Structure 1
Amino acid sequence: MRIAIAGGGLGGLTLARVLHRHGIGAVVYEREASRTARSQGGMLDLHPESGQHALAEAGLTAGFRSEARPEGEELRILDPSGHTLVHHTPRPGSFAGRPEIDRRVLRDLLLDSLPGDTVRWQHRLVAAAPRPHGGYQLTFDNGETAGCDILIGADGARSAVRRLLTTAELSPVATLVELTISDADRRHPALAELVGPGNLWCVGVSRILAAQRLGDGSIRVGISLRADQIDSDIDTYRGKHAVLSLFDGWDARLTALIEAGDSAPVPRRIEAMPTGTRWESRPGITLLGDAAHLMPPVGEGANQAMLDGAELAAALAANPADPDTAIRAYEEGMFARIQPIAEMSARVQAMMLSPTAAEDITRFFTRKSAERLSAG
C-alpha cells in the first residue's frame, strides 16, 4: 500500500506521523524547498478536542507541552478609542484551555517525529491521473513523476487533488493585511505592553486591527476587512499610508501598531469553500484540511486539519486490507463533523466584520466567560 500525501502542512504531517506509529509508511510531497524556506505564520491555539487530541494520537503531547505558551491564550479586546471591552486571562500554566504554540515550532515537532526520508521537499504536485489498474500517477513541477496506490490531498486552499473529486469553487470572504514588529520588548515596549502575552483585537465598524505576541518576542499585526471593503487593486494596500487611512480617527496608540511594522504591509484575499461541500467517494483518493473544507480563519482550520489526519490514519490502520472502505468511513465522519464547524466559522467571520462587531463580540465573549465559570 503505497501512500502519497500531497502537502507537508500540519494536517499532512499529522497523518504521516500517526500512520508511522501504526507501522504504515507514507511519502509526503511538499512544494517548499526546505522546512525553513518560508515563514509558517503566527501562533496557533490548539483545541483539546481536535488539535491536542491529534497530537495525543501522534504521541507528541509531551513535546507540545514543553513548547506551548498557555499565557498566549490571554485576549484583550478594545474599541477604536482604546477602551477595554473584554480582557480574558487564562489560568497560569494551565493546558486545560487552548494554549498557543508557534506554527513553525509545531511543524518542526511533527517533522522531527518522522523518518528522515518521509518528506520529499521541492515537489509541488501539478497533476494526478488515475492509472488503468488502480492508483494514481503523479506529476510534479520539477518534472519528476511517481506512482501511488492511495493519494491524499493535504495540499491546501489551491489543492491540485481536489479537482479529481469536486468542482467546488472558492469564494472571497475577507481581506487580510499583515505586518511584523520584531524584538518588540526592546524596540517598542509600549506596544509590547499594549498587546500583552497573547492576542489583542481592536474592533471597529466592519474592520479589526489585531496583534499577536509570538514566541520569539515579535508581534504579528493583522488588519481584517470585508472582501468588498477595499479597492479591486489589492496592491494599493502594500503601503502603510493606504492602510492607515482605513483607521482615521482611531486612537494613535492603536494605529502605532501599523506604523511600527518592520516592512511594507502584505495584503492577501481570504477565501472559503461552500459550507457543506461533499464529494462522492472514489477508490484510493481523499482530501483533508483546507483541501477538503477551507473555512474562514477563526481558529478552526489547522485544528480540524490535524484531526482529519489523525482520524484518516486511524481508519487506514484499522482496515489495511480494505483502504477504500476505510476512506469512505473517514469521509462520512469528517463531513458530519465539519458541517456545523464550517457554519459556525462563517457566522463568527460575519460577526467580527459586521457594523455592530464591537457589541456582538463583547456579548459573545461575555457569554463564553459565563459558560466557563458555570462549567468550573
Structure 2
Amino acid sequence: MRIVIAGGGLGGLTCARVLKAHGIDAVVCERDASQDARVQGGTLDLTVDQGQWALREAGLEAGYRAIARPEGQDMVLYDSAGTLLRREIAPEEGEARWGRPEADRPALRKLLLDALPEDTVHWGRTVTRAEPLGDGRHRVHLSGGDILECDFLIGADGARSRIRPLLTDAEPAYCGVHGMGLVIHDADRAHPAASALVGRGSFSALGEQRTLSAQRNGDGTIRVHLALRCGEDWPETSGIPFDDPDRARAALKELYAGWPAEFLALLDATSGPISVYPLTALPIGLRWDPTPGVTLIGDAAHLMSPFAGQGANLAMRDGADLALVLAEGGDVRKFEQAMFERAEPAAQMSADNLELFLSDGAAEKVRHLFATMSGEE
C-alpha cells in the first residue's frame, strides 16, 4: 500500500514513524525546504495518554525522556496588578514528574525525523491539491509540478489543509483574538531579571481581555506571548508598525499601561521580529462522511485555539492511532469516530478557556479554575 502524508509536523511524522515500526513505508510531503528552514515554535507539554503514548508506540519513549524537561512544569500566575495568584512546582522525583513535562518542538521533530529513513520526507514539496481516482486511490499534486499517486492519503497539513476539501467544506473561523510572539535570547546571561521572573517553567499574567505570558525553552531562550481580544483586521488598523520591531514593542507596552514594570520588562528584553497571528478554529464537533482512501489528523481535522494545550497531543495521538489501524488492516472509520470523540471535548474546552482567559475579571476566574481542578476549592 502506497501511503502519502501531507504535512511533516508532529502528527504527520508520528504517523510515518509508527507505520515504519510496523514495516510500512510512507511518503511525507512537507512545505519546509529543510528540517531547519524555519523556527518550529516553542515548548510543548505532552500528556501520558496522548503525546507520550504516541511516542511509546513509535518506540521513542527513551529518546523523549532524554529531551524532556520535567522542571518546565513549574508555573506562576499573576493578575495585572502584580498579585501572585498561584504557584506550582514540578515534582522532583518519581513518575509524577513525568505527568506533563515540557519538550521543545524542534527537539521533538528531530527525534521523529532521526527515527525515519532519510528519503521519507520530501522537503520543499507542498501539496497543492488532490483528486480521487476511484477505488480509494488519489492523485496528489505538489508544488513544482510533481505528482504522486497513492492508495491512502493522510491530511496532516494543518489549518489550511489542501486535503480537507475532499471530506468537508468546513473552514477555520476567527476566534476574536490575536496572538503575538516575541523571543528573549540568551535569557540567563543577558536578562537575569526576566529569567528569574519566568523561572524554570512558565509565567502568566491576566488582565482585562488581554494576557501576557512567557515560557522557558531548552535552548536558552524565553518565548513571550501576548493575546488580545480585538477585531480580525486589528493588525492593519491598530497603527502598530509590526515591520519595525523596536517601535512595535513600545506600542505594545502601551496596550498594557499600568501593569507592573517588571512584567513589561519582558517585552523590553525581547529582540528580533514579532510574529502576529489570528487565533482560528474549526467548528467544534466537526465530522465528515466516510470517504475511501483518505482521512485527516491533527489541526487539519480539529483545529482549535491553544487555550487547552491539546493541539500537539491530539495530533500525535491521531497519527499513532491511524498508523496502527492501517498496519492492522482495520476500519479507518473506527479511527475517525475515536478521533471525533477525543477531539470534541478538547475543542470545547479550548473555546471555553479562550473566553475565560480573555474575559473581564479573568484573573480571579482562572485562579478559581486552577484551584477547582486541583481539588482545592
For 1:284, the aligned partner's letter is: G
Q: Does 1:313 align with 2:323?
A: yes
1:294 alignment counterpart: 303
Of the three residues 127, 148, 151, the one matched with 2:150 is 148
Q: Secondary structure at the match of 1:208?
A: strand
1:236 Cα deviation from its structure 2 partner = 3.9
2: CA distance, partners of 1:264 / 1:114: 33
1:341 alignment counterpart: 346
1:322 alignment counterpart: none
CA contact (8 A) 2:135 2:292 kept: no
Matches within 5 A, 1:171-250: 171-173=173-175, 174-228=177-231, 231=234, 233=236, 236-237=239-240, 238=242, 239-250=248-259
1:281 alignment counterpart: 290
Give CA deviations for 1:250-276 in whole Å, capped at 9, x if unaligned.
111101111221124221111000101
Give CA deviations for 1:141-166 in whole Å, capped at 9, x if unaligned.
11111111100000000100001110
1:75 alignment counterpart: 75
1:228 Cα deviation from its structure 2 partner = 3.0
2: CA distance, partners of 1:140 / 1:236: 38
1:230 Cα deviation from its structure 2 partner = 7.4
CA contact (8 A) 2:90 2:97 kept: no
CA contact (8 A) 2:73 2:100 kept: yes
1:369 Cα deviation from its structure 2 partner = 2.6
1: CA distance, partners of 2:156 / 2:65: 25
1: CA distance, partners of 2:181 / 2:238: 13
For 2:146, the aligned partner's letter is: E
Change (3 A) 1:283 1:338: same
TM-score (norm 2): 0.94
2:163 alignment counterpart: 161
1: CA distance, partners of 2:29 / 2:233: 36
Change (3 A) 1:113 1:170: same
For 1:278, the aligned partner's letter is: R
Q: Secondary structure at the match of 2:272?
A: coil
Give CA deviations for 1:267-293 in whole Å, capped at 9, x if unaligned.
111100010111001000000000000
2: CA distance, partners of 1:60 / 1:107: 12
2: CA distance, partners of 1:350 / 1:18: 36
2: CA distance, partners of 1:156 / 1:121: 16
1: CA distance, partners of 2:239 / 2:8: 32
For 1:196, the aligned partner's letter is: G
CA contact (8 A) 2:174 2:232 kept: no
1:354 Cα deviation from its structure 2 partner = 0.8
1: CA distance, partners of 2:15 / 2:190: 41
2: CA distance, partners of 1:130 / 1:274: 25
How large is the Cα RMSD of the aligned pairs?
1.6
2: CA distance, partners of 1:34 / 1:367: 44
Change (3 A) 1:236 1:20: farther
Change (3 A) 1:256 1:234: farther
1:245 Cα deviation from its structure 2 partner = 1.4
1: CA distance, partners of 2:260 / 2:204: 13
Identical amino acids, percent of aligned pairs: 48
1:248 Cα deviation from its structure 2 partner = 0.7
1:10 Cα deviation from its structure 2 partner = 0.3
Choose 360-369 or 92-101, whichever is displaced more: 92-101
Listed as ranges, the gaps of 5+ residues in structure 1 are: 320-324
Q: How many residues align?
A: 367
1: CA distance, partners of 2:297 / 2:89: 33
For 1:58, the aligned partner's letter is: A
Listed as ranges, the gaps of 5+ residues in structure 2 are: 243-247
